[in-house]
Amino acid sequence: MTHTAAIDALTLTDWRRRVADLYAEVRAIAATEPEAAWNRWREVRDTLYRDHPQSPVPAPTRANHQGLYWPYDPALRFEVEVQAVAEAGQAAPAIPMSTGDALAFNRVGVVDVPFPAGHRTLALLWMAGYAGGLFLPFRDITNGVATYGAGRYLLDTAKGADLGGDVAAGRLVLDFNFAYQPSCAFDPRWSCPLAPPENRLDFPIEAGERIA
């Protein structure tokens, strides 16, 4: 391993550690003050995107980066049950990437989300390779207008993005105010899994991070 590669590995490890620490702090605050947790998430996340060497924001514009977000909407925070499906644990269709080969995922189950616009079902995935972890990407009507065209992420526990839940009851917290753009939204050199067709919503989610 070259010196540059070693430094890269160390900074990536530090990035993941900081993101995991941020979400641990967010979960603790959100137990009583979800909006305060969201404000803290935005503050620390924007600082990381400006200052950290592993930021997905291109270096020439990094110092001036300021995230854009919709106002916090408490109606888009849910605690939902993870429901078993017949194909749970089986390989889901490989998810295309923004660049490169498709990535393998297993379907863990589904979640029924009681959006103000009506109940919708989203697939909860588990990354089969890489570091493993729960993954919940989604698309909605804001894509290509106010958000990245190929969708946003809500959970990606391999990267530390974990909003918690009641493990014993099989429930997860899904707060769409914490929805964020994948790295490839900032720079096409990154390769990102795209939201599968089953996770495409037919209405706008005007919450979380936006790019316009």
Q: What angle is formed at CA 24 by the lines to CA 23 and CA 28, rounded to 5 degrees?
A: 110
Per the structure, the count of domains in the chain is: 1
What tokens appear for 164 in the block? Answer: 């918690």
Per residue in 43-99, pLDDT (tens digit) is: 999 999 999 999 999 999 999 999 999 999 999 999 999 998 876 556 667 788 898
Q: What angle is formed at CA 28 by the lines to CA 153 and CA 124, rounded to 5 degrees?
A: 30
Average of per-residue pLDDT values in the chain = 93
Per residue in 150-201, pLDDT (tens digit) is: 999 999 999 899 999 999 999 999 999 999 999 999 999 999 999 999 999 9
3-state secondary structure of 209: strand
The domain of 108 spans: 3-210
- Beta carbons of 159 and 54 less than 8 angstroms apart: no
Give the global pTM. 0.93
